[in-house]
Chain A
Amino acid sequence: MVKAAGWRWSWTANAYAVIVALGIGYFVSRNPLQFYDCLGNMLHVQSKDLWGVLVEDFTAKDFLRPLLLAQIDVTFDLANGRYLEMYKSIEVLQLVATALLFVNLLRVRSMTEAFAVPFGIAMLFGSHTISGAIHEAFPINTYLTIVVCCLLAAHLSFGNPARWRDVAAVALFIFAALTVESGLLVWVIFAAAWIVGCRGVSTRALVATTGALVGYFALRFAVLDVGVPPLALRGSAFGFRVLEPPELVARFGQHPSIFYAYNVVSQFLTVLVAEPKGGVWVFTRGVMTGELLPRDVIGVVSSTGATLLIVWYSLSRIGDWRRRVFDHGDRLVLVFVAVLCANAVIGYGYTKDVIVSPAGVFHGLAASIAFAHVLGRFERAASTGVAALAMASVLAVLSAGWATRLIALHYNLHQKAVIVRNDWMLNGPQPSGFGLEINPTGAALARQLYDQAVSMRAAGTYFYPAAGQAWKYFEKPW
């Protein structure tokens, strides 16, 4: 039974999360729909019905993502011409849902736990792993959809057992897995949570979801012969730069496993220490060349600091863990470890920070638990002497780092509005390459989106205070 004061802190935490999410939503709402990745998909679903979209995507090669375009198709029809409003509303809802699901997984019931929420929310939205999910729309932000699915999976697992949770678990897995490959992480969350003692999703439902997982692989490799993306599909980073497909084939064509291993390690490390970024060792290169920017330091120090907090928390709990005694926070930390490993492996094909956005979110959850644990120490300490003050100062520095990264998200969303508008203007109201000359309805859609981009004012970050220096402190997600 939770007392009224506990609920008060919980409500405060929820309100905090919603306000931060809406603050980001405000910047999102002022961005036009993207030209790249959006127009092509919208023209595609405009020219086909839902069945046609599904059939085409179930028979595609390299990727099995039939529900990605299906979601765009359904929302495109529902929008009934109000595409900007539809897709911006979806993203704002995704942001609010992400924030609420995140905070409620922390189960805030006290002042100390509530004070850890700002740290968690800053990690949630400030991490370089999720910024791509917020910036990149197709025009639905699919990676944000997967983040929401992963958080929902954790909620299902961590809740009280119920039949509806079992049904929802299987449905959620199928939805996520057929949207994009990292949706398979939903199963990892169910399994990891079950292993550490969560029974919100029953054993029977876990078996059913495992069956669906096996079915997914059978469908992908045996029935539909979708396969996996080839090495030369796109450029990817290795070391200090991005290699183009021909270079990748020349260097790794004979031994792709080396390249894939590099990608897995890179994805793993980027969550924990924010290096490499997108597979490129930006911080290391900066140290070697003497061209290190403050944003590189802020990224690495804040991510590493959060990881060290988790390590410290884990060490302080290791005794109980050996006896298989886990509280809620322990379970979240252990599920994070599983999500991190699985997410890094799923991203073996090429390095892209947004692929590990689910792991980044669980990193934030685990670090919030650890952060609350430290704050709890302040409460319980017999004295609040120099050591406590020093620790509080260290945490304040860490908070400042994450605060900077959270501001950077907003700053970059403004700059992104300029970039997106420029993409439209440079391509013109009837961009080539889409067959618009023979497609009047498509041409009308392109014109509508172009005109909207024209009318959505964005002066650019030049006019922000201290704009001449700000870019050095704010990491770019592109």
Chain B
Amino acid sequence: MEVFREAVVDEMLSSPRSRRATALIVTAVAPLLAVFLGSAWAVVGWLAGTSPFWPDPNMTLSEAAGLGNAGEVVRLITLERKDPNRPWPVREGILGAAHDATPLEAAVTGRRQDLIPVLLRYGVVVPDHGAARTLLICRAVDARAPDIVEMLVNLGDRSDPRGGCPPQAN
């Protein structure tokens, strides 16, 4: 049976009709063969010690915070010793237009409430009072993040500066 089958296949592969049949068969699975190339590339890259399909965009601390990537935030602070209290560039698209922001500001703008305790654990300082605190809370108001507003209002001098936020923020 197998001998017969292979004789048929061998014969078919060499005739024009068999080439058409083969073309149909390849057409039927073409999308899967394309994906296979990706798998093969991943395996080769893995063996070669590179990182195929695992983007390494050199995120800044503030970009990681804005995207809610707590793992990268902690890695950048603890392993790469990045200062969590200074502004870092944020690329366009992550939090709107490209700009500089502190990790805390980025977390607030990105409405990443879960991340704020992580930032506090790793040395981020929330302004106790004054214009910096007002600005941060207004940023949370602007981001329409009431839970973060609540959290920030309960930190520092516990005053509620929302009345002083710019009109567009309300």
Residue numbers of A with Cβ under 8 A of B are: 1-3, 5-6, 16, 19-20, 22-24, 26-27, 29-30, 109-112, 115-116, 118-119, 121-122, 371, 374-375, 378-379, 381, 383-384, 388-389, 391-393, 395-396, 399-400, 402-403, 406-407, 410, 414, 418, 421-422, 424-426, 428, 453-460, 462-464
Contacts and interface: CB of A to CB of B under 8 A. Distances in A.
Contact of A392 (B9, B28, B70, B121): B28
Interface residue tally on B, bucketed by range: 35 or more
Given A3-B3, A109-B5, A110-B5, A421 B39 contact: no
B6 A396 contact: no
Provide the main secondary structure of the chain A interface.
helix
Interface string B1-34: 0110110111011000110111011111111111
Nearest to B40: A19
22 contacts: A1-B2, A22-B46, A23-B42, A26-B52, A109-B5, A115-B25, A116-B29, A121-B32, A379-B8, A388-B24, A392-B27, A393-B27, A399-B30, A402-B32, A406-B32, A421-B72, A422-B114, A458-B71, A459-B57, A459-B72, A463-B55, A464-B55
Contacts of A375: 25, 28
Contacts of B78: 454
A19 B39 contact: yes
Contact of B43 (A26, A402, A421, A424): A26
B26 to A, nearest CB: 7
> Which residue, of A1, A23, A392, A428, has the highest number of chain B Cβ atoms within 10 A?
A23
A454 B72 CA distance: 7
B29 A118 contact: yes
Contact of A459 (B6, B17, B33, B59): B59
B114 A426 contact: yes
Contact of A23 (B33, B40, B57, B94): B40
Contacts of A26: 42-43, 45-46, 52
B20 A384 contact: yes
Contacts of A453: 71
